């Protein structure tokens, strides 16, 4: 035991050292200055704190901030859509009443291709710039939310989110490719009868009936669609409905 | 004019939220990871916490308390969604340290791994106040308010947390040395 020259004795110092290793309290600093054994204990404790801090600093996933901001933008958009849908129903009801009166007919909903491109260019447009691959587990989770159990997942998916696309329930993904990103949307339980190509706002797309729904691909280079279609064909054929 | 004012309020809220996400999501993820012990779950927790934070962002008056405010939301979210879930802590070998391996020596990675494994084994009542102090930089009084216990209890818990951690590490090192000798 060292000589007690400060207000704090060795026991008090060691206790404080385990509670506040970085303490700058005057009596704590004074004791360390006067007691070599406690000064050594403090040096060891600070080295331990440094190692502890480094060990706890688990690196966050890449694109964590971007994925949170996208989720927030998507949520806002959904809320707006719900609100607009409520207002839309009122408008539609009024139009229907009017139509009965004057013999008009309500026009058909927006075509699938236009709805998909409009969705892609909406709040989730920043997803087109994402390149870091998402975990296969996240893709499986998104499909599971839509009632599809994937046993395998294609590589190189940089974005995945469950989204409403117009009236359709979809899993919205981005697959970066050499000639630009391809947006891939799988519309569950909405299986068209034929494949179709479409174009809108400078983008080209293709919809393909597949397994439990329809796969929609959108990009600037249609030559990239065939391989993606093949990958998803084998993936979805091996999947099951849950 | 009223429309312009409304737009300006909305965009300033969005800017504030962006700054919070970009500035604190990493810290919050680390906290969530050590709270639940799973990377995917930690990601979901952080995202849910920020989505809740967005909805009540108007209640954040002091930017200096943003981190504590977010941690409170995160802890509530964890309690709400996962309090009945048994934490599935990963083995030390499964913990992702790829980014760190590039900057640390093999010796330090081994040491970090031992500390991480010991932290996983530490009882939650000791681990959480220690995390708040080491990762969050909170004082014992702030931790006490957050955990709804007395400052004296916090001091006891961080003291014991360090003692237990060092005790476990001393045991692990001895065991590792025995394996090397055998």
- For residue B179, the distance in angstroms to the closest alpha carbon of chain A comes to 23
* Contact at CB, A64 and B116, closer than 8 angstroms: no
Helix (H) or strand (E) run with residue A217 in it = strand A213-219
- Average pLDDT, integer, range B138-150: 92
**At a CB cut-off of 8 Å and minimum separation 6, what does B55 contact?**
none
* Contact at CB, A55 and B116, closer than 8 angstroms: yes
- For residue B118, the distance in angstroms to the closest alpha carbon of chain A comes to 11
**At a CB cut-off of 8 Å and minimum separation 6, what does A61 contact?**
A67, B29, B39, B43
A23 CB neighbour count, 10 Å cutoff = 15
| Residue spans of alpha helices (H) in chain B | 2-36, 39-55, 66-82, 98-101, 106-121, 124-134, 140-147, 151-181
Q: Is a pLDDT exceeding 80 seen at residue B31?
A: yes
Q: How many CB pairs under 8 A join A and B?
A: 94
DSSP string over A106-152: PPPPPPHHHHHHHHHTTTTGGGGG--SPPPHHHHHHHHHHTTEE-S-
First-to-last alpha carbon distance for chain B, in angstroms, is: 80
Interface test with A, best of B13, B24, B51, B140 (most A CBs within 10 A): B51
Tokens of B143: 């931790």
Per-residue model confidence as pLDDT tens for chain A (242 residues):
454 444 789 999 999 999 999 999 999 999 999 999 999 999 999 999 999 999 999 999 988 999 899 888 888 877 777 666 666 666 666 655 554 444 433 333 357 787 788 778 776 777 888 888 899 999 999 999 888 999 999 999 999 988 777 667 889 999 998 888 999 999 988 777 788 888 877 788 999 999 888 999 999 888 999 999 999 999 998 888 88
Q: What residues of A are in contact with residue B50 (Cβ under 8 Å)?
A: 68, 71-72
A32 vs B10, which has greater pLDDT? Answer: A32
Of the candidates A124, A123, A112, the residue with the CA atom closest to the CA atom of residue A181: A124
- Considering only B15-19, B58-62, B75-79, which range has the smallest mean pLDDT? B58-62
Angstrom distance (rounded) from CA A11 to CA A205: 74
Q: Hey, CA dihedral for B59, B64, B68, B73, is it positive or negative?
A: positive
Angstrom distance (rounded) from CA A40 to CA A22: 14
* Partner residue opposite A56 with nearest CB, options B104, B135, B140: B135
B interface with A, Cβ–Cβ below 8 Å: 17-18, 21-22, 25-26, 29-30, 33-34, 39-40, 43, 46-47, 50-51, 54, 95-100, 104, 108, 111-113, 115-116, 119, 131, 134-135, 140, 155, 158-159, 162-163, 165-166
Ramachandran angles phi, psi of B20, nearest 5° = -65, -45
Length of chain A: 242
Angstrom distance (rounded) from CA B47 to CA B96: 20
> What three-state secondary structure class fits A155?
coil
Angstrom distance (rounded) from CA A142 to CA A134: 12
pTM over 0.80, yes/no = no
pLDDT grade, residue B110 (50/70/90)?
A: confident
- Give the CA count within 13 Å in the CB-facing half-sphere of A143: 26
Q: What is the pLDDT of residue A170?
A: 87
* Contact at CB, B111 and A51, closer than 8 angstroms: yes
| Spatial contact of B45 and B36, defined as CB atoms under 8 Å apart | yes
User: From the CA atom positions of chain B, what is the Rg in Å?
Assistant: 19
* Contact at CB, A61 and B29, closer than 8 angstroms: yes
* Partner residue opposite A68 with nearest CB, options B40, B50, B113: B50
Q: Is a pLDDT exceeding 90 seen at residue B93?
A: no
Task: Please state, in angstroms and as integers, the Cα–Cα distance from residue A4 to each residue in A1, A12, A30, following that order.
Answer: 9, 11, 11
Angstrom distance (rounded) from CA A20 to CA A27: 13
* Contact at CB, B54 and A138, closer than 8 angstroms: no
Q: Is a pLDDT exceeding 80 seen at residue B158?
A: yes
Q: What residues of A are in contact with residue B98 (Cβ under 8 Å)?
A: 59
ipTM: 0.74
Q: Is a pLDDT exceeding 50 seen at residue B86?
A: no
Of the candidates A22, A11, A18, the residue with the CA atom closest to the CA atom of residue B164: A18
Task: Please state, in angstroms and as integers, the Cα–Cα distance from residue A103 to each residue in A100, B31, B49, B80, following that order.
Answer: 5, 63, 52, 54
A interface with B, Cβ–Cβ below 8 Å: 15, 18-20, 48-49, 51-61, 64-65, 67-69, 71-72, 75, 135, 137-138
| Spatial contact of A139 and A158, defined as CB atoms under 8 Å apart | no
Interface test with A, best of B115, B152, B158 (most A CBs within 10 A): B115
Helix (H) or strand (E) run with residue A17 in it = helix A10-19
* Contact at CB, A60 and B131, closer than 8 angstroms: no
Length of chain B: 182
Q: Hey, CA dihedral for A82, A87, A91, A93, is it positive or negative?
A: positive
Q: What is the mean pLDDT of chain B?
A: 78
Interface test with A, best of B144, B155, B164 (most A CBs within 10 A): B155
């Amino acid at each position: 035991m060292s000589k007690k020259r400060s207000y704090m004795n060795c026991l008090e110092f060691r206790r404080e050292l385990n509670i506040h290793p970085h303490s700058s309290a005057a009596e704590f600093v004074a004791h360390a200055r006067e007691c070599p054994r406690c000064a050594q204990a403090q040096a060891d404790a600070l080295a331990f704190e440094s190692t502890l801090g480094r060990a706890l600093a688990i690196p966050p996933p890449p694109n964590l901030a971007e994925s949170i901001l996208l989720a927030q933008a998507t949520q806002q958009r959904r809320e707006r859509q719900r609100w607009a849908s409520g207002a839309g129903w009122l408008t539609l009801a009024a139009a229907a009443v009017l139509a009965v009166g004057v013999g008009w007919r309500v026009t058909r909903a927006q075509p699938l291709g236009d709805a998909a491109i409009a969705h892609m260019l909406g709040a989730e447009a920043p997803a087109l710039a994402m390149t870091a691959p998402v975990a296969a587990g996240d893709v499986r989770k998104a499909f599971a939310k839509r009632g599809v159990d994937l046993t395998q997942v294609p590589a190189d998916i940089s974005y995945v989110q469950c989204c409403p696309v117009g009236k359709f329930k979809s899993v919205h993904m981005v697959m970066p490719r050499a000639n630009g990103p391809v947006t891939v949307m799988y519309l569950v339980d909405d299986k068209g009868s034929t494949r179709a190509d479409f174009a809108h706002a400078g983008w080209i797309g293709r919809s393909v009936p597949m397994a439990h729904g329809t796969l929609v691909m959108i990009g600037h280079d249609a030559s990239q669609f065939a391989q993606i279609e093949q990958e998803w064909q084998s993936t979805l054929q091996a999947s099951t409905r849950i | 004019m009223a429309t312009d004012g409304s737009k300006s309020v909305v965009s300033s809220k969005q800017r504030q939220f962006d700054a919070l996400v970009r500035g604190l999501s990493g810290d919050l993820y680390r906290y969530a990871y050590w709270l639940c012990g799973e990377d995917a779950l930690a990601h979901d927790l952080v995202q849910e916490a920020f989505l809740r934070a967005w909805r009540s962002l108007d209640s954040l008056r002091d930017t200096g308390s943003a981190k504590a405010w977010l941690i409170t939301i995160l802890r509530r979210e964890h309690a709400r969604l996962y309090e009945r879930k048994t934490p599935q802590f990963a083995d030390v070998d499964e913990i992702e340290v790829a980014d760190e391996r590039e900057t640390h020596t093999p010796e330090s990675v081994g040491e970090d791994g031992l500390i991480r494994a010991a932290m996983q084994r530490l009882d939650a009542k000791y681990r959480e106040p220690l995390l708040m102090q080491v990762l969050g930089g909170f004082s014992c009084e702030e931790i006490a308010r957050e955990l709804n216990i007395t400052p004296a209890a916090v001091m006891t818990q961080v003291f014991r947390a360090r003692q237990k951690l060092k005790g476990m590490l001393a045991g692990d090192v001895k065991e590792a040395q025995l394996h090397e000798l055998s």
